[in-house]
Structure 1
Amino acid sequence: MTDHALGVHSETGKLRQVVVSPPGLAHRRLTPDNREELLFDDVFWVKQAIKDHAVFADIMRGEGVEVLDAMTLLAETLDIADGRAWVLDHRITRNDVGVGMRDDLRTWMEGLPGTELARYLVGGITVDDLPFTPSGMFGSYLGLHGFVLPPLPNFIFTRDNSAWVYGGVSLNPMHFAARRPETLLTAAIYRFHPKFSGKFDVIWGDPLTDHGLATAEGGDLMPVGDGLVLVGMGERTSPQGVGLLAEALFDKSIAKRVIACQLPRSRSAMHLDTVFTFCGG
């Protein structure tokens, strides 16, 4: 495919390149007990979902779209020494995995192939996966089958943790804690993978920063065209997030106008793209 500038300039323009994330280990680890905490309405048939996703990706390829697999991009990023170190530095912390287990877990993960490491970072790590006996307070608390790292089943929704708005991208501070690690993994891809590194501006957001009440998710961000951006403001994207994002868009001359659309704070209207979708220009 011919190289072209990265960006999304319309909700209905020709799609040339897209990042998708297929179902996998994270979804096999959804259960009736944990699905609500992980923001899923129900468990689903993962084997069939994988087949359906592959069909969907093939349909897009048939229309001339370059389909990039987020798991492959992440694995390739983790095969870059600096990329691997950056992810592990910020994902395998004492705050996340406790004092007693951090060093053993880090050593084990440093030795994994990129593909396997990506699978665990998204799919989660259970005590059963570990080649060592977990130690420390957290390790003792987990029992025989607990999650050392919880799975990220919502990583399949690639539009949410980052959002391309015209020629730049936001790295979104997400509303629910269950989704925030997704942004770190996507930021690593953008920062270290040669397909993205140095080829665009980050408009707003940093997964290493505590954004407080300022949250945003990509399903609420719609670059309509001609410098106009619609932003849903409801359950997932806060007024504080809208204000800071709009300020950044104006400061970087990326947008001319931002319209905030107030949404009900309900799951049925969790994102602006849940409420409506543009069908033509």
Structure 2
Amino acid sequence: MTLVYGVHSEVGRLRRVMVHRPGTALARLTPSNCHELLFDDVLWVKQARVEHMTFVDAMRYRGVEVVFLREMLTETMRIPEARRWLLDRRVNDNTVGVGLADDLHAHLMEIDADALSSILVGGLSKVELPMKANSVVASVLAAEDFVLPPLPNHLFTRDTTSWIYEGVTLNPMRWNARQLETVNIAAIYRFHPDFRDAGFPIWFGDPDRGFGMATVEGGDVMPIGNRAVLIGMGERTTAHAVGQVARSLFAHGAAERVIACKLPKERASMHLDTVFTFCDRDLVTIFAEVVNGIETYSLRPGEKPGTVDVRVEEQPLTEVVAGALGLQKLRVVETGGDAYVQEREQWDDGNNVVALEPGVVVGYDRNVYTNTLLYSACSGQALRAFPYARHRRLSQALASLRDRRIALPA
């Protein structure tokens, strides 16, 4: 049976989702490299795996089919054409250097698919090279330096691609530490049996192209229904990308309106979904300090083909979104507690929950005040509040694995 892929709502019943287990890449984090790899600190990987599987079990309990990124990559790498396509982009003179690229490429073409997928996600250090490298790059590297970098941010599967109605974007990411994630996922979408014949369009993005200032991450992208899309513009997603995504959606008749939301360029609100998420068809949770100051712009198809009309919205974001959905107003749950608690709970992703179906959300037990308000607003259907994960980025990962709300045939 051919799967039908698409995301038509932030709160529709989640049918199928791709997640990534904490593993080798996270074990590569150290105090000296974690900031370069976009983590605030190192993680306790064993506990991260326990909490991640708790999350997976919770989704399965609600009937969600859960697939794992590395297993999908392994299955993809068993296809010779797919392996060559990906290695051509991951192992070449520009990425590993003259004198090493050819030999390493040839070696990786022959190894077991599971071992290869582990390297493509977990990285390969100089000391782990299977051959002696006579190259400038290898000569200047220390033994523990990486020839192929680890990709610990693969944990945040929501960011790498964005399913928007019947199609997907292959996101050009803001930071170098994340850009190779898109290449891995592109290989899965292009060659894996679950995706290669599905016929879904790619709205934006191509791992073989450079996009300059046009960067986007999935935590900023929300198809909310009624052919409208919210896209945040902050630390990771730029207006340059928003315009291109909107133009493509309009040209294909995939959307009628894109609501662009100007966010502060701050780490605490790096994505729209860290300050604003849907919990039910008419219910959102927000960090009011940021959301109440968001400037919004409505993008619609221009009069001439290929053009985009942009208008500044005068109303607050919640009113703009309600109007786009044909609602009189949204129910709003703000971050709970006093000013100190609100700042702490926002940092701990109190407003970044995942809806498994309308009114059923997953959050974190550390955010006691916000969770209490959400529990009441969702009629007591809050599914599970997870233990805090020692580190905000893991907490954010668990809350952000929403990216593929894939609809299957009834």
TM-score range, shorter chain: over 0.9
Question: Which stretch shows the higher mean deviation, 186-195 or 108-117?
Answer: 108-117
In 2, the alpha carbon distance for the partners of 1:181 and 1:102 equals 17
Which position in structure 2 is the counterpart of 1:66? 65
In 2, the alpha carbon distance for the partners of 1:197 and 1:209 equals 21
Q: 1:146-225 residue pairs with structure 2 within 5 A?
A: 146-199=145-198, 200-225=200-225
In 2, the alpha carbon distance for the partners of 1:113 and 1:82 equals 15
Unaligned runs of 5+ in 2: 282-410
Offset at residue 4 of structure 1 (A): 4.7
Which position in structure 2 is the counterpart of 1:51? 50
Question: How far does the alpha carbon of each residue in 1:204-234 deviate from its partner, in whole angstroms, 9 at most, with x for none?
Answer: 1101100111111111000000100000001
How many residues end up aligned between the 2 structures?
280
The one-letter code sitting in structure 1 at the alignment partner of 2:222 is M
The one-letter code sitting in structure 1 at the alignment partner of 2:249 is L
Taking structure 1 as the reference length, the TM-score comes to 0.98
SS of 1:169's partner is strand
| Aligned CA distance change for structure 1 residues 4 and 45 (closer, same or farther; 3 Å) | same
Offset at residue 52 of structure 1 (A): 1.3
The one-letter code sitting in structure 2 at the alignment partner of 1:223 is P
Larger strand fraction of residues: 2
Offset at residue 198 of structure 1 (A): 3.0
The one-letter code sitting in structure 2 at the alignment partner of 1:239 is A
SS of 1:229's partner is strand
Which position in structure 2 is the counterpart of 1:138? 137
In 1, the alpha carbon distance for the partners of 2:197 and 2:14 equals 22
RMSD (Å) for aligned C-alpha atoms: 1.0
Offset at residue 3 of structure 1 (A): 6.0
Question: How far does the alpha carbon of each residue in 1:46-98 deviate from its partner, in whole angstroms, 9 at most, with x for none?
Answer: 01111111121111111110001010000100101111000001110100000
Which position in structure 1 is the counterpart of 2:375? none
Question: How far does the alpha carbon of each residue in 1:172-201 deviate from its partner, in whole angstroms, 9 at most, with x for none?
Answer: 001001100000000000000010113111
Verify the 8 A CA contact 2:92 2:102 in the aligned structure 1: no
The one-letter code sitting in structure 2 at the alignment partner of 1:16 is R
Verify the 8 A CA contact 2:220 2:233 in the aligned structure 1: yes
In 2, the alpha carbon distance for the partners of 1:135 and 1:45 equals 36
In 1, the alpha carbon distance for the partners of 2:80 and 2:150 equals 24
In 1, the alpha carbon distance for the partners of 2:47 and 2:120 equals 23
Which position in structure 2 is the counterpart of 1:272? 272
In 2, the alpha carbon distance for the partners of 1:3 and 1:127 equals 42
In 1, the alpha carbon distance for the partners of 2:209 and 2:232 equals 23
Taking structure 2 as the reference length, the TM-score comes to 0.67
Offset at residue 242 of structure 1 (A): 0.5
In 1, the alpha carbon distance for the partners of 2:3 and 2:99 equals 48
Question: How far does the alpha carbon of each residue in 1:220-255 deviate from its partner, in whole angstroms, 9 at most, with x for none?
Answer: 000000100000001101110000010011011111
Q: 1:119-134 residue pairs with structure 2 within 5 A?
A: 119-134=118-133
Offset at residue 143 of structure 1 (A): 2.2
In 2, the alpha carbon distance for the partners of 1:180 and 1:198 equals 25
SS of 1:49's partner is helix
Verify the 8 A CA contact 2:19 2:157 in the aligned structure 1: yes
Question: How far does the alpha carbon of each residue in 1:113-148 deviate from its partner, in whole angstroms, 9 at most, with x for none?
Answer: 111101101101001211212221001011222100
Verify the 8 A CA contact 2:125 2:147 in the aligned structure 1: yes
The one-letter code sitting in structure 2 at the alignment partner of 1:148 is V
In 2, the alpha carbon distance for the partners of 1:153 and 1:111 equals 25
Which position in structure 2 is the counterpart of 1:228? 228
Q: Indicate yes or no: 2:37 matched with 1:5.
A: no
Question: How far does the alpha carbon of each residue in 1:29-61 deviate from its partner, in whole angstroms, 9 at most, with x for none?
Answer: 000000000000110100111111112111111
When Rg is computed on C-alpha atoms for both structures, the one with the higher figure is 2
The one-letter code sitting in structure 1 at the alignment partner of 2:106 is T
In 2, the alpha carbon distance for the partners of 1:211 and 1:68 equals 30
SS of 1:278's partner is strand
Unaligned runs of 5+ in 1: none
Runs of 4+ in 1 over 4 A off after TM superposition: none
Offset at residue 275 of structure 1 (A): 1.2
In 2, the alpha carbon distance for the partners of 1:144 and 1:155 equals 24
